[in-house]
Amino acid sequence: MDETTPAEKAAALSAGQKETARVEAFSDGVFAIAITLLVIDLLPLSTRGGDVWDEVSASWPTFVAFVISFFTILVIWLNHHQMFTYIQKVDRNFLILNGVLLLVTTFVPFPTALVAQHILDPKPGSATAAAAIYAATGLGLAAGFRMVWRYAAKNRRLIAATVPDAELAPDAGAWLGPLGYSAAFVMAFIFPIATIVICGALAVFFAKSA
């Protein structure tokens, strides 16, 4: 490495940036599609037999879940986007970890549908199961993002030289996500509605400050 000429270094840097840009673009595509697919959870409402306004107003959990999941994915996108302003190259391990984060992101419409259908379900256990799976998905997103970021930032592995060390130190929010979603998970077994309230509060908090 020490014997690479400046021209070789510049070429490698440029190739690294192109590679990084493509990973970012692919990830952005997945975020944009996952966030837009959430509406599919709403469509079955349109074909029910009853009075439209009664059906829609009785289905308020569906809309609440739609909005919370929308902002949850939006926040992950914002953070992912922020992360890529620090990263100047990617490697195979980073691509796999990023792939795991994208896997959890594409999964989000499913727990959203579960909550929409079952948070008011009178069957014992169904609301709890739906809320627990929803909170676990949020936890997966938060933990997945932490994992990707720790991998990139460890010893400045993939970080551009121009980024000051202070930017890489974990802030308070770094732990709030995993802790908050863990609390939401526990609440699913006590009072499932509280799980949804916590997940909504986390999305609002991170949208404003993350």
Closest CA to 135 of 175, 174, 189: 189
3-state SS assignment for residue 88: coil
Q: Map tokens 């070429």 to a residue.
A: 11
Tokens 């799980």 correspond to 195
Tokens for 25, please give them: 């673009």
What is the closest distance, in whole angstroms, from the C-beta atom of residue 79 to a copy of itself in the complex? Answer: 11
Q: Choose which of 46, 155, 161, 165 interacts with a copy of itself (CB under 8 A).
A: 46
Determine if 19 is a binding residue for a copy of itself (CB under 8 A): yes
From the CB of 193, what's the least distance to a copy of itself, in Å? 15
Contacts of residue 95, Cβ cutoff 8 Å, sequence gap at least 6? 23
Site string for a copy of itself, 97-116 (x = CB under 8 A): --x--xx--xxxxx--xx-x
The enclosing H or E element of 78 equals helix 60-84
- Write out the residues near a copy of itself by the rule CB under 8 A: 15, 19, 22, 24-26, 28-47, 51-53, 56, 66-67, 70-71, 74, 77-78, 81, 85, 92, 95-96, 99, 102-103, 106-110, 113-114, 116-118, 121, 123, 125-126, 128-130, 133, 207-208
